C-alpha cells in the first residue's frame, strides 16, 4: 500500500479510538468536565500528563530545531525537561493541597480578589491561545502532507475532532483519550528511531547510536560536523548563541512550564496529594523516553537529509521531496540554472526547508516502509491534538468557572455551568482554528513564546502565593499586569514586527523573544514584592491558609484530602 492509504488507515483507526473514548467517558457533571471526577489512577494520569505536556512542539518541532540549530537547539531540551521537574517538585503538591480546579481559581482565592482572578483569566486565555496556535499549525502541517489536503483543510479536520471529544467529554474524555494518544505518539516516535539508528550505526538503541560510529568507523557527530563545515554551516556541536540568551531561554521555558495552566490542572484529577506526586513521577518517566531520543533523531535526520540533497540532481530527487514541495514546506530555486541542488550557507543557497518537517519526513528520507511513515503522521496528530484539547479545556474552564460562576452569576447551577463550559470550549475551538490558519511562526517558536508569557505572568504570582505570606492582592495584580504587558510588547516588536519592529542587534540585553520571559518574570517579581511591601498585609485568614498549604496540620491527615 502507498503512504496515503496507510495514513488514511492508521489515522482513521486512531481517530475512531479517540471518538469512541469520548463517547464512553462523556462528562455528566462539572467535576467530570473540569477534573475527570478526581478519580484517575496515578499511572493513567502520568500518561495523560505526558501526552498533555508533549505537544506538537515536542514531537514535531523540537527535534527539527535541534537538527538545524545543533548545540543551540539543546536549550529547548533543557528548558522543557527542567521545567517539568520544577513543576512536579516545587508547585504541584502545594496547588493540589489547595484543591482548586484552575490557576485563576487559586489566584482569586489566594489573593482574595476578583480583580486578581480576572487578570489571571485574561493571562490564562492569552497563554493558552498562543500555545494552541502552535498545535493547530502542527495539525495543518501533518494533514497537508499525508492526506494531501491544504493546510487550512487540515486545521478544520483537527478542529472538528478536538471539538467532539473536548466539548463532549471534558477533562474526563480528554484524560482517557490522552492515555491512548501517549501510547500512539511514543510508539510513532520510537519505531523510526530504532530503524534509523540500526541503519546508520548498527545499534538499535537510538541513545547509543547517537554517540556511536557509522559503517566507515567515523563517529556520527564527527561526520555531521564535517558535513556542516563542508557546506559552510556552523559546526553541529558548537554553539553560536550568547551565554545570557541560552540562560534566558532555558529559564523562561523552565519557569513557563511551572505556570502553564493546562499542565497544572492535571494534578487535580487524582484522588490524593500522594497520587499527584506518584503521577508526576510516572509522567517524568514517560516524557524522558521521548526527550532522550530527540537528540538522536535530530542527528540522524540531519545526516540523512544532507547526504540526500547535497549536490543532487533536482530531476532525480526521490518522491518524498516533491511531496513536501507540494506543501510549500520545501522550496528549491535553481539560482545558477545547473539543475543541481546547492544546499549551502549564505546567499548562494538554493534550498529552504521548514524545520517542522524533519521528524515527519525523517522516515521517508531514510526510505523506511510506508506504514512507518504513516505511523509518524498519526503520532504527530496525537501529540498536537492531546495538548490542544487540554488547552481548550483551560480556556473553557476560565470562562465558565472563574469568570461566570465566580464573578458574574454565583448562583449558577451545576447543569448551567456545564453548558457554559461547553459553549466556552466551542468558542475556543473556533479561535484556535483561526490561529492555526494564521500562525505567527513555526510550531516550536510559537510554543516558546507561550512559555515566556506564562513565565512573565503566572509563575511569580503562584510561587509567591505559596511561599510568601506577606504577598497581597495589590502586589500580585500589579506584577501580573506589568509582566504580561512587557512580554507582549517585546514579542510583538521583535517577533511580529509591530511597534516599529527590530533586529537581533536591538534585543534588550542580547536576549531573544523566546528568552525574554525570564526578564519579564524578574520585573514581575520586583514589582510584586515592592508593591506588596508598600500596601497592607493580607488578612489573617489568608496568611493562615498559606501556612496550611505549606505545612498541613494533623498527623498527615490534611495531605490526604
Residue 558 lies inside a defined structural domain of this protein: no
If pLDDT is split at 50, 70 and 90, which confidence band does 225 have?
A: very high
Give the count of domains, the chain: 1
Which of 96-110, 166-180, 416-430, 533-547 has the lowest average pLDDT?
Answer: 166-180
Q: Report the pLDDT value the prediction gives residue 440, as an integer from 0 to 100.
A: 57
Task: Report the distance separating Cα 48 and Cα 389, nearest Å.
Answer: 11
The DSSP element (H or E) to which 87 belongs, if any, is none
Instruction: Give the per-residue pLDDT at 32.
Output: 58
Instruction: Supply the pLDDT for residue 559.
Output: 41
**In which band, very low, low, confident or very high, does the pLDDT at 471 lie, cut at 50, 70 and 90?**
very high
Question: For 426-430, what is the mean pLDDT?
Answer: 80
pLDDT over 90 for what percent of the chain?
Answer: 22
* CA distances for 412 relative to 4, 112, 178, 406, 417, angstroms: 49, 21, 30, 9, 6
Residue 560 lies in a domain: no
| Top mean-pLDDT range of 69-73, 198-202, 310-314 | 198-202
Residue 41: inside a domain, yes or no? no
* Mean of pLDDT values over 453-459: 89
| Domain assignment of residue 37, yes or no | no
Cα 182 from Cα 501, distance rounded (Å): 40
Residue 31 falls inside a structural domain: no
Q: Among 319, 315, 290, which Cα is nearest to 379's?
A: 290
The answer to whether position 335 is within a domain reads yes
What is the pTM (predicted TM-score) of this model? Answer: 0.81
Grid cell 535530530 in the structure block, residue: 298
Residue 200 lies in a domain: yes
Tell me, yes or no, whether 57 lies in a domain. yes
What's residue 111's pLDDT? 92
Report the pLDDT value the prediction gives residue 551, as an integer from 0 to 100: 65
Higher local confidence (pLDDT), 448 or 50: 50
Helix pair angle (62-69, 443-467), 10° resolution:
110
Q: Residue 388 belongs to a domain with what CATH number?
A: 1.20.1730.10
313 phi and psi angles, rounded to 5 deg: -80, 120
In this prediction, residue 98 carries a pLDDT of 76
| Rounded CA separation 450/443 (Å) | 11
Give the residue from 141, 132, 87 showing the smallest Cα distance to 449: 132
Round to whole Å and give the CA distance between 187 and 290.
10
In the block, which residue shows the cell 505518539? 185
Domain that holds residue 404: 3-25+47-553
Neighbours of 184 (CB within 10 A): 24
Query: 124-128, 200-204, 340-344, 384-388: lowest mean pLDDT where?
Result: 384-388
Amino acid at each position: 500500500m502507498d503512504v496515503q492509504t496507510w495514513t488514511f488507515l492508521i489515522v482513521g483507526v486512531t481517530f475512531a479510538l479517540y471518538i469512541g473514548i469520548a463517547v464512553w467517558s462523556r462528562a455528566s457533571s462539572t467535576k467530570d468536565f473540569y477534573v475527570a471526577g478526581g478519580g484517575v489512577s496515578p499511572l493513567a494520569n502520568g500518561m495523560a500528563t505526558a501526552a498533555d505536556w508533549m505537544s506538537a512542539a515536542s514531537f514535531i518541532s523540537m527535534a527539527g530545531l535541534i537538527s538545524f540549530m545543533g548545540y543551540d537547539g539543546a536549550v529547548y531540551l533543557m528548558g522543557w525537561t527542567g521545567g517539568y521537574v520544577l513543576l512536579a517538585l516545587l508547585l504541584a503538591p502545594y496547588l493540589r493541597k489547595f484543591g482548586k480546579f484552575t490557576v485563576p481559581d487559586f489566584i482569586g482565592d489566594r489573593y482574595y480578589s476578583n480583580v486578581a482572578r480576572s487578570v489571571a483569566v485574561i493571562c490564562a486565555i492569552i497563554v493558552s491561545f498562543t500555545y494552541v496556535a502552535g498545535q493547530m499549525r502542527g495539525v495543518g502541517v501533518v494533514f497537508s502532507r499525508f492526506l494531501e489536503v491544504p493546510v487550512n483543510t487540515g486545521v478544520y479536520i483537527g478542529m472538528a475532532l478536538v471539538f467532539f471529544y473536548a466539548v463532549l467529554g471534558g477533562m474526563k474524555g480528554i484524560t482517557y483519550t490522552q492515555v491512548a494518544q501517549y501510547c500512539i505518539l511514543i510508539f510513532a516516535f520510537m519505531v523510526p528511531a530504532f530503524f534509523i539508528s540500526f541503519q546508520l550505526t548498527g545499534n538499535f538503541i537510538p541513545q547509543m547510536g547517537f554517540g556511536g560510529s557509522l559503517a566507515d568507523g567515523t563517529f556520527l557527530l564527527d561526520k555531521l560536523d564535517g558535513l556542516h563545515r563542508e557546506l559552510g554551516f556552523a559546526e553541529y556541536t558548537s554553539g553560536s548563541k550568547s551565554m545570557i540568551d541560552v540562560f534566558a531561554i532555558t529559564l523562561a521555558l523552565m519557569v513557563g512550564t511551572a505556570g502553564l495552566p493546562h499542565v497544572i490542572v492535571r494534578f487535580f484529577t487524582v484522588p490524593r496529594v500522594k497520587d499527584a506526586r506518584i503521577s508526576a513521577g510516572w509522567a517524568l518517566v514517560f516524557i524522558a523516553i521521548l526527550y532522550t531520543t530527540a537528540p538522536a533523531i535530530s542527528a540522524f535526520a540531519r545526516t540523512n537529509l544532507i547526504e540526500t540533497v547535497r549536490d543532487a540532481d533536482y530531476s532525480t530527487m526521490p518522491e518524498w521531496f516533491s511531496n513536501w514541495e507540494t506543501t510549500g514546506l520545501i522550496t528549491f530555486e535553481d539560482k545558477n540554472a545547473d539543475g543541481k541542488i546547492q544546499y549551502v550557507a549564505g546567499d548562494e543557497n538554493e534550498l529552504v526547508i521548514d524545520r517542522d518537517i524533519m521528524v515527519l519526513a525523517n522516515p521517508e528520507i531514510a526510505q523506511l516502509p510506508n506504514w512507518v511513515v504513516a505511523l509518524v503522521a498519526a503520532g504527530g496528530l496525537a501529540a498536537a491534538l492531546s495538548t490542544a484539547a487540554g488547552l481548550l479545556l483551560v480556556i473553557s474552564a476560565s470562562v465558565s468557572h472563574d469568570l461566570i460562576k465566580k464573578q458574574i452569576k454565583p448562583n449558577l447551577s451545576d447543569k448551567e455551568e456545564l453548558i457554559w463550559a461547553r459553549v466556552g470550549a466551542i468558542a475556543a475551538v473556533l479561535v484556535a482554528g483561526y490561529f492555526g490558519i494564521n500562525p505567527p511562526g513555526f510550531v516550536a517558536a510559537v510554543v516558546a513564546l507561550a512559555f515566556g508569557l506564562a513565565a512573565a505572568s503566572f509563575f511569580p504570582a503562584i510561587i509567591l502565593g505559596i511561599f510568601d505570606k506577606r504577598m497581597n492582592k495589590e502586589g500580585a495584580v500589579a506584577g501580573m499586569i506589568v509582566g504580561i504587558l512587557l512580554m507582549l510588547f517585546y514579542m510583538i516588536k521583535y517577533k511580529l514586527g509591530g511597534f516599529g519592529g527590530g533586529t537581533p542587534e536591538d534585543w534588550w540585553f542580547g536576549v531573544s523573544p523566546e528568552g525574554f520571559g525570564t526578564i519579564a518574570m524578574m520585573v514581575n517579581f520586583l514589582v510584586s514584592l515592592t508593591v506588596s511591601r508598600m500596601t497592607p498585609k493580607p488578612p489573617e485568614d489568608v496568611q493562615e491558609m498559606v501556612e496550611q498549604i505549606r505545612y498541613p496540620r494533623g498527623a498527615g491527615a490534611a495531605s490526604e484530602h
